[in-house]
Amino acid sequence: MEDGCPHVVFYDSGRGILPAIRRFLNEGQMPDSDVHLMGLRIVRQIIIAHEGTISVTEDGQEIEVRFQPIKSGRDWQAGQNIFQ
């Protein structure tokens, strides 16, 4: 949780996310090349459907997912339990 918002950061210790995939995740621009995106397309759709954002750093080493603040007390408690 960060400022009442569910917030998750993933780190890639390898080569990082390919530039074509970064553009897709950051901007929604489909790559021209033959890149497998089915799983990431679904992930991006779910995040956007829940009014969240996903972004990848320029070097492709970090992916950040952020959602809107949790509003009700009951939802807040559920969120706290999930993200601890």
Measure the N-to-C terminal CA separation of the chain; round to a whole number of Å: 8
Q: What is the C-alpha separation between 34 and 66, in angstroms, rounded?
A: 28
pLDDT in tens, 22-71: 988 998 888 877 777 888 889 989 999 988 999 999 999 999 999 988 66
Q: What is the C-alpha separation between 66 and 51, in angstroms, rounded?
A: 9
Q: Report pTM.
A: 0.70
Q: What pLDDT shows up at residue 79?
A: 55
Q: What is the C-alpha separation between 52 and 6, in angstroms, rounded?
A: 9
Q: What pLDDT shows up at residue 78?
A: 55
Q: What is the C-alpha separation between 27 and 33, in angstroms, rounded?
A: 16
